Each structure stands twice: as C-alpha cells, then as structure tokens.
Structure 1
Amino acid sequence: MKSAPPTLRFERSFIESGHQFLAGCDEVGRGALAGPVSVGLVVIDLAAVKGLRGVRDSKLLSPADRVRLVPRIKKWALAHGVGHASSAEIDDVGLMRALQLAGNRAWEQVVVTVRPDAVILDGNHDWLSPRPEATLFDTETFATATLEAGPLEAGPVETDPVETEAFDAEVPAGCNVPVHTRIKADLQCLSVAAASVLAKVERDAMMVSYAGDHPQYGWEVNKGYATAGHRAAIHGLGPTGLHRTTWRLGTRDRIGMPRVEIGG
C-alpha cells in the first residue's frame, strides 16, 4: 500500500512556540562505501508556506522524478542548501563528525538568506548541533564506530593523490539553534522530504561524475553503495581515493565484522 505523502502538520506545530522560519534537514550517503555524505537543508516560512505536491522521501521517488522536483523545491523554499563531507573526511574524523561537517556547510548556505529559528532533523540522534570533540571513551562515538566502520579487506590499495589531499575538518560556525529530532521525519514532514530530495540529486550527480574516472566500480548505477558488484570490484582492483578506506569494503567477510549495507 502506498504511504501517505508528507505534510506540513508537524512543521506548523512550531508556530505555537513563536517560530516563523523552520528548517527541515536530512542526510544521504550514510551507508555508502564510496563518495561523500551529503546533507540537505530546506527553510520554510511558516507564516506563508503552502503544500508542494509530488514531494516524498527521496528513496521513494524515481531518479527522474527527483530531478524534476529540484527546481520546484528551490522555488518553494525560502532558502536551501546541500553540504558534503568527503570520504577522506569520513576516514579522518568518523561518520558522525562528518555528518556534522556536511550539515553545517549546508547551514552556512541557507543563513546567507535567512536564519532558521529551529531545525527538524530526521532520525533520533542530533549529529548537527555543535558539541565538544569526542574521544574513544565517548560511549556513543565508540559504539557508532564499531557498528559502522571496519578494517579494509586485504589487497592492493590504489590511491589518487589528487583525491586524497588533506581536508580541513574544522566545523564552521554552524547551527546553534534548537534541533528537534524526529523518527521518520523524511516520510512525514514535507520540509525534511524536500531536503532529502535536494541532497540525493546533488550527491547522485557527484557519483555519476566520479564514475567517469573510475568506470570499473559502477558508481553511475550503485552511487557508491554496497552492491555485490561494487564489493567485487573493490576486492579485485582495490579501493580508490574516493572510497572510505577505514570501512570494510571487500567481498570476503571476517567473522564478527558487521556489514555496512544501509541506504540513505
């Protein structure tokens, strides 16, 4: 049965708290083996915003439908942005910190136009708000690293020096307004679904572009996710500089190592 489309019902509940400018936020690329994590941010004016037909969580739309929606979403939103954190940054600072980097890069884009009063973030964990640098003794960070990263399969490592150049992982001034997490917000909240579409289209285009230089990995189709063919290519050829080399990438499983097969 087809799910109901997202609405503005939850967003409009923020009017009672005196908010006018509200941002919906979602990420894509979290479970990929190659390429960036990307975060979309869409700001709406609660006093004036109307519905937008056809928008759903990006995973429920065809690629062609997502592309067609982009100009409509950009016209509908008061402000919008998409930020990215590279595979090298994910390897360097970890997934949660990389999501924060990408999210705050999107934030810096929207505040040029308007500063949101609050953010609705898909999921149950606030990775967007500033926080002190985590350590290995931070239980949450350690648990995340255990579940979502792993050692590379044995084999040759081929890197491109241009693609593995040093990255500045400084978090921009960034989001310092209340962030409200909501499970399945991408399915229920129109602003969050719109943010997911913008992030998905931009990240997919990046992966198609990267595929021109690395055709053996099928990124124009799998967008960097852990398909059997992608894992087999990594096993046979080794990772590129666009792979997340701290993750378990190849086809040979190690006992006790978790899989990284999630989408988004």
Structure 2
Amino acid sequence: MKYTLGIDEVGRGCLAGPVYMASVLLDNSYPRYCDHLQKDNYLEHRELVYIRDSKKLSLVRRNAVLNMVTEKQIYHQIIHVSNSLIDKYGMGICLSYIILILISLCQNSNESQIIIDGQITLIREPNKNILSTILKENNIKSIKIIDIDTVNILRENKADDNYLSVAIASSVAKVIRDNLMNELHLNYPEFGWNQNKGYGTVKNREAIKKHLDNQYLRQSYLDNIRASLKAGHQAIKILLF
C-alpha cells in the first residue's frame, strides 16, 4: 500500500457537545508505527518522535501536531456529529457513518491501509436520510460513497497509541473539539466545559442537574443524572411527610 489512512474519534463518552472524528493520510515516507514501537524509522522524522495518543500529550504538543499537519499540507479531514443527532441516531450509528464519509472523501482510499482506532461497526448499506443529514451538518453537498468491502481496513484497540497516522488524527480531532468546547464555555461557564470538555466530572454533573434543558447536552446520556434527581426528590418527600 502506498499510504496509511489513520482514523480516530474524540468525545465519544462526553455528556455534552458533538463527537469529532479525523482522518490523516501519510505516504510511505513516514513511519508506520509510533516512535516507541519503531525507533529506527525516526532518524529522518525527529519532529514526530513525541506523537502518541492525544490523551497522553500536553495541550502545547497537541497544538504542535495540528500546526505540523497544516504547515506540511498533510491530507486530513474532520467530520463531526452534533449532540442532537447523537440523541436521534445513537453514538454507534453516528460513528459508523462518519467513518464511511471519511473513507469516501479520501481519493487515495483504494491505495491505503486504513487503520481505525477501536472496533466501530462498518456500514455497508447506508441509510440515505441519515447520510444526507450528517453531510448537511458538515456542509458537504454530496460525495460518492465507497464500497467498504473494496478497501483494506484494520480496526484495532489503542491504534491511536501505536500507529502514527492514527495518533496524529487523534490530536487533530481533539484540538478542534476542545476549541469548540472552550467557545461554548464562554456562554455556559457553569458547566466548566473549558476544563472538562463535556466529560462527566463532578462540576459538569452538578451543573447538568440544574440545567437539564441546555441545547448542547446529550439527553440520551443523562438517564443516571435524572434518576439521581428523582431519587433525591423522593427522599425529600419522605422526610417532609
């Protein structure tokens, strides 16, 4: 294969905000594996030795990865699905469609080893309505959908910590999503999204209890919080009566 197309998502487990997924295409001049697995191949790519799963990198280094991708004009694509569509279709379905879109957008998919972080289900017969809705949300008018069985796909847990292309995609997606959550924080500071990025921290959960109708919350993820509120209300009634 001439290329490696790495794909990774960020924000899957959050209680608020969209999920983002990025793809990054590297040709064979780049190492296939991250530095800790393939040190000898980094003699000509010393600027890449620190790249790992984005969760293991500092903010400065994640930003450096995105800057490097931009400066070197490395092919990459970013697709998101809003919290409202996650509630409507479910996270698993949304991720499957994003993968299909990212692979279809890449003109070199047929010449690539495609590596996906995790065991996300692949879509072979996409629903036109779901597909068009996600495309519209990302301002994509139309694309030619690839036959997923004609490309070489590897799905692997922790691929973002092992394969360079996936690790880069991880940082690209995280920087873009984190920046969005920082912007949302300016309008909704009570949630602390500039720090927790929508994950279920104590501060975020406590704010959610008071603002369950916030437009950026994933309502389908909040059953436990609603249950705890209901239990609390029932306990108060018992004490009062």
TM value normalised by structure 2? 0.73
1:38 — aligned with what?
20
Q: 1:49-78: CA deviations, max 9, x gaps?
A: 254222111000111221122111344574
Decide whether the 8 Å contact of 1:26 with 1:40 is kept in 2.
yes
Q: Aligned partner of 2:214: which letter?
A: T
**Structure 1 counterpart of 2:57, one-letter code:** L
Looking at structure 2, the residues matched to 87 and 226 of structure 1 have their Cα atoms a distance apart, in angstroms, of 15
Q: Secondary structure of the residue that 1:226 maps to in structure 2? A: coil
Separation in structure 2 between the aligned mates of residue 173 and residue 32 of structure 1, nearest angstrom: 31
Q: Structure 1 residues 41 and 101 mapped into 2: Cα distance closer, same or farther (>3 Å)?
A: same
Provide the aligned length of Structure 1 versus Structure 2: 200
Q: Which amino acid aligns with 1:126?
A: I
User: Which has the higher Rg, Structure 1 or Structure 2?
Assistant: 2
Identity %: 31
Aligned mates of 2:53, 2:134 — CA distance in 1: 29
Matched, 1:168 2:98: no
Q: Following TM superposition, by how much is the alpha carbon of 1:220 offset from its aligned partner in structure 2, in angstroms?
A: 0.9
Show the counterpart of 1:90: 86
Greater share of helix residues, 1 or 2? 2
Q: Is contact 1:22–1:44 with CA below 8 Å preserved after alignment? A: yes
**Aligned AA for 1:63?**
L
How far apart, in 1, do the equivalents of 2:203 and 2:163 lie? 34
Residue in structure 2 matching 1:118, options 107, 113, 118: 113
- For residue 239 of structure 1, the aligned residue among 209, 213, 218 is 213
Residues 86-105 of structure 1, C-alpha deviation per residue, up to 9 Å, x if partnerless?
10110111101111233344
| Correspondence for 1:49 | 30
Indicate the SS of the match to 2:115: strand
In the alignment, residue 30 of structure 1 is paired with which amino acid? R
- Whether the aligned pair in 2 keeps the contact of 1:84 and 1:103 (CA below 8 Å) is no
The whole-number CA distance in structure 1 between the counterparts of 2:72 and 2:171 is 13
Shift of 1:107: 3.9
| Residue 103 (str. 1) matches residue 68 (str. 2) | no
Output one character per residue of 1:27-52: Cα deviation in whole Å (capped at 9) or x when no partner: 11000001111111111112x22542
Contact 2:97 2:123 in 1 (8 A): no
Q: Distance in 2 between matches of 1:87 and 1:221?
A: 19
Kindly indicate whether the alpha-carbon contact (under 8 Å) linking 1:40 and 1:196 is maintained by their aligned counterparts in 2.
yes
Letter aligned with residue 39 of structure 1: M
Judge conservation of contact 1:58–1:193 (CA < 8 Å) in 2: yes
User: Residue 114 of structure 2: SS of its match in structure 1?
Assistant: strand
Which amino acid in the other structure matches residue 185 of structure 1? A
Q: Residue 217 of structure 1 is aligned with which of 170, 191, 209?
A: 191
> Is 2:155 the partner of 1:181?
yes
Q: Partners in 1 of 2:120 and 2:167 — Cα distance?
A: 17
**What SS does structure 1 have at the residue aligned with 2:15?**
coil
After TM superposition, give the deviation of residue 130 of structure 1 in Å: 2.3
1:156 alignment partner in structure 2: none
Cα distance between partner residues in 1 of 2:106 and 2:70: 12
Structure 2: segments with no counterpart, 5+ residues:
32-41, 43-47, 136-141, 230-241
1:131 to 114, 124, 129: 124
Per-residue CA deviations over 1:8-29 (Å, capped at 9, x if unaligned) read xxxxxxxxxxx11220111110
Aligned to 1:191: 165
Normalised to the residue count of structure 1, the TM-score between the two structures is 0.67
Query: Taking structure 1 as reference, are residues 178 and 195 closer, same or farther at Cα in structure 2, changes over 3 Å only?
Result: same
